[in-house]
Structure 1
Amino acid sequence: MTTVSERQWCAVRHSLRTSAERFAELVRAAPSPAAMVTAEWSVAEMTAHVAAIASMYSGRLANRGAAPPGSPMAGLVPTVTVDTVAEYNEATLRQFTERRPEVLTNQLLTDVDDILRFAELLPADLPVPWLGDARLPVAGVLAHMLNELLVHGHDIGTALRLPWTIPTTDAALFVDLFLFNVLASPGRLVPSATQYPDRMVSVELLSKHTRPAKVVLHQRKVSVEPPDGQCDVRLRFDPPGLDLMLFGRLSRARAALTGKVLVTGRRPWLLPGFLRVVRLPTNSVPRGHSE
């Protein structure tokens, strides 16, 4: 896991609080909690999904990263992969049954306050077990919670034509604190890597808003290394654009055409195959989504 700077630690806590408040305001501005955001989820269901994650993280950080005793979903967490996250989310929603937006947003804000309060008592780089037995630092857990708010706020805003922005600095925190850390210690989260050929493929990720890193797929394992100028693919990116692309909200073609990502390198044609293995879970895109 990477070292978390004091600047990043302060920034992710501040952004998590302000994004939770923005998300709550967005949900309350929705014309109806029954309005559909994706083919499967309404505003109420998507809000419940985000609130359930906040509740889970609040309990975990209160227990120094371990699942609280008696947690009904604790047994499923180590076995989740990018291919089974949807099933895990649906199981979570069956456990988390509240659907009233006012209650959900109040609970979300309370749990985010608790997350921040418990996080201040822990080292920012304390390893925490995550989905698929991956490992994240506490700061990475906060960055993931921040990104849940950002991406699902984007979903609701897109579907209902309500204003929502993903600040570049917030998306950069997601890349630095969550993405690079989860790829460095993916556990069982990326099971299809076991079916990839033995040849090494390396992708350098570069942005003026994040630290440079090289993600390597070799001998069916994923690792993150410092860039050394030797790579198959060089991907320069705008953090919000990369974030939305990785979660299926922005197509690769549109990301390239709009300059959100720029792909170069000696073997750029290897990127699509690489991304079929080194990928993040994607939910349904919002209704009316044109990207």
Structure 2
Amino acid sequence: MTDTPAAGKAPSLTPRKVLHGSGCDAQWCIRTLAQARAALRDVVPSLVTLVRSVPDANTAGVGTWTVGDVAAHLSHVFRFDTDAVAGRPVPDAMVTMAGMAEANATMLAEDGERDPAVLADRIGTLANKFDDVASRSRAATVDWLQGARLPPSAVACHLLEECLIHGHDIATATGRPWPIQRHHALLAVEGAALPLIAALPPTAFLNQEKAGSFRARFELRLRGGGRTVLNFDGGSLTLDAAGTRDVDAHISADPPALMLVFIGRQAIWKPLLGGKLAAWGRRPWKLAHMLTAISPP
């Protein structure tokens, strides 16, 4: 992949632009897509090297998946995100934890390849294809999973998020380092997670059994980024602009730590003790309940 801008340049993201799903400011989306492509060009070579270095594809990865399963899954994400940006059909899947588990299981069952070297080559090739398709995209929005309409920037940032998270999974399983840069994680959160929350049904990101009676509002302040309000209301999660109403607690978060905590890869206590996360306000204890209620697909 080519056209990498100056290394280490932090993105200039504004969460208010994504509060209404596909209603994304055109210039913001164009800029964010360019930043996501640049971030992928930073991350993918390290990801390919990491996958190629896996000594045993049958090593336990995350959940019930082996490391080989994780790498194969990543290649599937590259394919369907590329198809989305290209305007081609994407898998028929419900974007909930159960729905995505079923869709991912089907794709893994249909793809028997688990050789790390082959999958590393596949990911590298697919990454180049994605960058080429994304560089030519002029669509304001595209069809994604479950009929969600997303700007191409959100699809690119989703792909970046998958690379960061599953790179972390493979590195953890094989005892290798996987540093996540703040501006990459910021793109993943502000460029993908927030637009997905806004575009999908308000139940998609929640465990309904644990979130059904939970009501709370949290102002999320991303270090190096912007602010938005997470509104939990009886089994639904929506976004509001910061400062619209009183909140139960404020959360200041380093983006890599927030991403790993929200996706269930790290307990909250380590980043709290290390200063990567902080919470204060009238009801900061509600943060613990929030983390049990959230169930990212």
Q: Fold conserved (TM > 0.5)?
A: yes
Structure 1 residue corresponding to 2:118, chosen from 83, 97, 103: 103
Which letter does structure 1 place at the counterpart of 2:253? Answer: F
Checking the alignment, whether the CA contact within 8 Å between 1:80 and 1:88 is kept in structure 2 is no
Q: Tell me what 1:16 maps to.
A: 40
Matched, 1:264 2:280: yes
Cα 1:225–1:39 change in 2 (3 A) is closer
Aligned equivalent of 1:94: 109
What's the CA shift for 1:236?
0.4
Change (3 A) 1:125 1:208: farther
Question: Once the 2 structures are TM-superposed, how far is the Cα of residue 191 of structure 1 from its aligned partner?
Answer: 6.0
Q: Is residue 74 of structure 2 the alignment partner of residue 50 of structure 1?
A: yes
> Once the 2 structures are TM-superposed, how far is the Cα of residue 6 of structure 1 from its aligned partner?
4.4
CA contact (8 A) 1:216 1:225 kept: yes
- Residue 55 (structure 2) pairs with residue 31 (structure 1): yes
Letter in 2 for 1:94: A
Return 5+ residue gaps in structure 2 as ranges: 1-20
CA deviation vs aligned residue, 1:48-102 (integer Å, no higher than 9, x gap):
011111112222222x2x515xxxxx33x1x341244323222220122222222
Distance change in 2, residues 1:128/1:209 (3 Å): farther
Q: How much has 1:42 moved relative to structure 2? A: 2.5
Q: Quote how far apart the aligned CAs of 1:209 are.
A: 1.6
Q: Is the 8 A contact 2:253 2:276 kept in 1?
A: yes
1:224-253 per-position Cα deviation (integer Å, ceiling 9, x unaligned): 121117211211000000011011111012
Q: How has the CA–CA distance of structure 1 residues 14 and 254 changed in structure 2, closer, same or farther, with 3 Å as cutoff?
A: same
C-alpha distance in 2, partners of 1:192/1:27?
32
- The farther-off stretch of 208-217 and 218-227 is 218-227
Query: Alignment identity in percent?
Result: 26
Displacement of 1:123 in angstroms is 4.0
Alpha-carbon distance between aligned partners in 2 of 1:5 and 1:139, rounded to the nearest angstrom: 6
Give the Cα–Cα distance (whole angstroms) in 2 for the partners of residues 43 and 192 of structure 1: 26
1:141 is the counterpart of 2:133? no
Q: Does 1:183 align with 2:207?
A: no
CA distance in structure 2 between the partners assigned to 1:238 and 1:245 by the alignment: 11
Q: Deviations over 1:247-275 (max 9, x none)?
A: 11110122211222111111112223333
The number of residue pairs the alignment matches comes to 270
Moved more, 99-108 or 35-44: 35-44
CA RMSD of aligned residues (A): 2.4
Q: Does 1:170 align with 2:194?
A: no
C-alpha contact 2:218 2:248 (8 A) present in aligned 1: yes
Aligned-residue offset at 1:162: 1.4
5+ residue gaps in structure 1?
Answer: 69-73, 282-291
* Amino acid across the alignment from 1:36: A
Which residue number corresponds to residue 96 of structure 2?
A: 81
Do structure 1's residue 216 and structure 2's residue 225 form an aligned pair?
Answer: no
Counterpart code for 1:34:
N
Aligned to 1:287: none
Task: Give the TM-score normalised by the residue count of structure 2.
Answer: 0.82
Deviations 1:118-144 (A, max 9, x none): 2223247524333x5544321111111
How far apart are 1:5 and its partner, in Å?
A: 4.8
Alpha-carbon distance in 2 for matches of 1:251, 1:45: 24
